[in-house]
């Protein structure tokens, strides 16, 4: 049997949906604020996979340029988010999201 | 043979993502996320997006995740503690997530023809083409994004500074 | 891919890996001898003639030392970090072209894989190399290791930026990311006498690249995070025996990668005079000799700098990387693109 050299495109889209779902699950279920943030990055990665798969499907490079922008925005967001986490940790000394539920110190 | 490679990398990506959820210490979650990104970079190579794969490893796995690892090290984050409130979230959230998954999948299915396949080597990586699109057609977003990064740098330095 | 092509590629990988590891082992001997002679002493002379068997003795010593693991260390990460450092150091050799394009049995003879994004591959492998160090420093559960690991990785990330910017000038001149195309675009001469190597138009880029690369590989004068007189030994304080050996090999393999890259990108790679009257086989192998000589020259430059210059302080190091190297590399990029745009219009 000749091994197959093709993969249906829908497999890539299903994989992306599964990764997105796992990212949402991490965002809701985990209690450490850094892990919650990493689940957001996982969701962004799943979206990137969708973009690249559709760029292949429609033979256009615009989607890959958009992936580039998504990565840059994710970098900026990670930088600011982690700075906020450090500042909050200095004031509350806790990284558990359940402890970070009040506006006053 | 290439289909086997797809399943290997897809399985690795899902495995690392599940490990991110299962692990209690954030450093193992961070390393699992790096694993997810590396597997995705291999999948991008299979889809012919060489430049995006390289940028994914250099920027995402090699710079952003290093930032995460630094913060985990500096804050000395310990193992996670489960509280009572998370139980309620889990009971309502889990079926809703499955519903969301189904919705996303069906929506995406409708966008592409049902018999679309990925043939490896079919879409040769066009770094020059991406460069042309980026600097000719998308020049304004490019400049705006560089200002965005500048704002992020200033914001991060201000927020994380020691107020002495 | 044909099974025979896979088989020949595996043979190439084994040959390249063994040559690289042998060169790494003898680079240590070379450095000890050269630094010793610069300091008016002999260096290793006892083990074998001129101390040539010293690397073998070092290997035996490292293998037979007691393997200690500090209590409270994160076992999995502590054990994986040296392997990660060595793997990423060795991966870069998969895309370096050692000689001109000859095919045999369906595969390239003198390069393992000619990727279209060869230079980006090396940059990405270098980015992953930071993890070996930062994870080693953190998982050792020791103050000196943590500080050394943090400093070392912050230094590596800062100088990665300057290194990448310095290389864009070369990319603009050759128009391709594939290392073989970059070497082949340096063939021919300027005005009939000067070889068309990238060092001549891109001299500023070359100095930026070399400085950034020396900082990237944590060598003197940028080796504060791992100097013995500073932080005990930085991130590899708590490592003994073969795990320390792997860090050591990773550092010298990184040095070798930088030398090979500098040769390929700025000094014309394997190009050199090949007299036509020599037999075919010698003509095929002579470019490899030119490549090896240029790489050896760069290794000597590394060791020479190590024996001569004093160490930078950490804040001087970081401010030099961000405030001097990045603007100079950007200026080089701007001037290069201006000149090329004028040339093409």
What is the pLDDT tens value at each position of chain A, 105 positions in all? Answer: 445 678 888 889 999 999 999 999 999 888 899 999 999 999 999 999 999 999 998 888 899 999 999 999 999 999 999 999 998 888 888 888 888 878 776
**Concatenated DSSP letters of C194-212:** EE--TTTTTHHHHHHHHHH
CA distance A63 to A71: 12
**pLDDT tens across C256-293, in order?**
999 999 999 999 888 888 888 888 888 888 889 999 99
User: Token pair of C276, please?
Assistant: 């036509």
Report whether the peptide linkage leading into residue C4 is cis, meaning its omega lies within 30 degrees of zero.
Answer: no
Residue position matching structure tokens 């400049």: B143
Chain B residue with minimum CA distance to C128: B62
Find out whether A44 and A70 touch, Cβ atoms under 8 Å: yes
Selected residue with higher pLDDT from C78 and B78: C78
User: Token pair of B42, please?
Assistant: 């291999």
CA distance B67 to C229: 28
> In this model, does residue B132 exceed pLDDT 80?
yes
Q: Which one, of C177, C173, C218, C175, lies nearest residue C198 by Cα?
A: C173
Spell out which residues of chain B touch residue C121, defining contact as CB-CB under 8 Å: 54
- ipTM of this predicted structure: 0.91
Range C318-338 average pLDDT: 94
User: Token pair of C212, please?
Assistant: 């950034």
Is C134 within 8 Å of B54 when comparing Cβ atoms?
no
Q: Is the pTM of this model over 0.95?
A: no
Helix orientation angle between C241-266 and C143-174, rounded to the nearest 10 degrees: 20
Spatial CB neighbours of A90, under 8 Å, sequence gap ≥ 6: none
User: Token pair of B130, please?
Assistant: 């991406």
Is B152 within 8 Å of A14 when comparing Cβ atoms?
no
Phi, psi angles (nearest 5°) of residue C143: -60, -45
Q: Count the neighbouring beta carbons within 10 Å of the beta carbon of residue B80.
A: 18
Residues found in chain C: 345
State the Cα angle at C59 between C58 and C64, rounded to 5°. Answer: 100
Residue position matching structure tokens 């392997």: C83
- DSSP 3-state assignment of C190? strand
Is B26 within 8 Å of A32 when comparing Cβ atoms?
yes
CA distances to A19, A69, B118 from A55, in Å:
19, 15, 11
C138 alpha carbon, distance to own chain's centre: 25
C117 touches chain B (CB under 8 A): yes
> Which chains are adjacent to chain C, needing at least 3 Cβ pairs under 8 Å?
B
């Amino acid at each position: 049997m000749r091994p197959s050299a093709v993969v249906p495109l829908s497999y890539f889209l299903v994989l992306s949906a599964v990764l997105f779902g796992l990212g949402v699950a991490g965002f809701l279920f985990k209690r450490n604020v850094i892990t919650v943030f990493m689940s957001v990055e996982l969701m962004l990665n799943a979206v990137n996979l969708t973009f690249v798969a559709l760029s292949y499907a429609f033979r256009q490079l615009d989607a890959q340029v958009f992936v580039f922008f998504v990565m840059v925005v994710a970098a900026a967001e990670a930088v600011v988010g982690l700075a906020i986490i450090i500042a909050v940790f200095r004031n509350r000394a806790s990284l558990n999201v359940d402890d970070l539920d009040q506006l006053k110190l | 043979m290439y289909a086997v490679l797809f399943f290997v990398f897809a399985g690795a990506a899902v495995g690392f993502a599940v490990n991110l959820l299962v692990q209690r210490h954030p450093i193992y979650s961070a390393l699992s996320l790096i694993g997810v990104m590396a597997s995705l970079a291999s999948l991008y190579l299979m889809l012919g997006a060489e430049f995006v794969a390289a940028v994914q490893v250099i920027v995402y796995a090699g710079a952003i995740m290093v930032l995460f690892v630094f913060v985990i090290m500096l804050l000395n984050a310990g193992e996670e503690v489960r509280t009572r409130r998370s139980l309620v979230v889990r009971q309502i959230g889990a079926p809703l997530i499955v519903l969301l998954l189904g919705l996303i999948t069906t929506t995406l299915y409708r966008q592409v023809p049902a018999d679309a396949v990925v043939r490896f080597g079919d879409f040769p990586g066009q770094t020059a083409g991406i460069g042309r699109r980026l600097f000719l057609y998308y020049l304004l977003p490019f400049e705006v994004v560089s200002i965005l990064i500048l704002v992020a740098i200033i914001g991060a330095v201000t927020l994380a500074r020691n107020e002495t | 891919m044909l099974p025979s092509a896979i088989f020949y590629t595996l043979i190439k990988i084994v040959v390249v890996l063994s040559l690289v590891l042998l060169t790494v082992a003898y680079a240590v001997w070379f450095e000890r001898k050269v630094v010793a002679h610069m300091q008016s002493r002999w260096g290793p002379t006892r083990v074998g003639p001129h101390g040539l068997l010293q690397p073998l003795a070092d290997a035996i010593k490292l293998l037979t030392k007691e393997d200690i693991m500090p209590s409270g260390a994160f076992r999995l990460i502590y054990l994986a970090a040296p392997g990660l450092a060595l793997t990423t150091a060795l991966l870069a050799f998969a895309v370096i072209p050692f000689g001109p394009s000859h095919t045999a049995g369906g595969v390239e003879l003198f390069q393992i894989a000619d990727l279209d994004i060869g230079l980006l591959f090396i940059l990405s492998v270098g980015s992953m190399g930071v993890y070996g160090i930062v994870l080693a420093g953190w998982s050792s559960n020791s103050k000196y290791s943590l500080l050394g690991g943090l400093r070392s990785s912050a230094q590596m990330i800062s100088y990665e930026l300057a290194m990448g910017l310095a290389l864009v000038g070369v990319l603009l001149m050759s128009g391709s990311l594939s290392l073989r195309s970059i070497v082949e675009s340096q063939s021919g001469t300027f005005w009939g006498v000067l070889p068309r190597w990238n060092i001549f138009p891109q001299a500023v880029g070359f100095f930026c690249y070399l400085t950034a690369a020396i900082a990237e590989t944590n060598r003197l004068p940028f080796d504060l995070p791992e100097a013995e007189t500073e932080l005990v030994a930085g991130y590899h304080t708590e490592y003994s025996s073969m795990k320390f050996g792997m860090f050591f090999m990773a550092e010298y393999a990184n040095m070798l990668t930088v030398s090979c890259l500098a040769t390929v990108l700025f000094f014309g790679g394997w190009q050199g005079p090949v007299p036509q009257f020599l037999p075919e086989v010698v003509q095929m192998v002579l470019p490899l000799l030119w490549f090896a000589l240029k790489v050896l020259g760069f290794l000597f430059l590394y060791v020479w700098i190590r024996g001569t210059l004093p160490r930078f302080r950490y804040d001087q190091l970081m401010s030099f990387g961000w405030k001097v190297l990045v603007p100079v590399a950007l200026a080089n990029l701007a001037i290069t693109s201006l000149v090329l745009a004028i040339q093409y219009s």
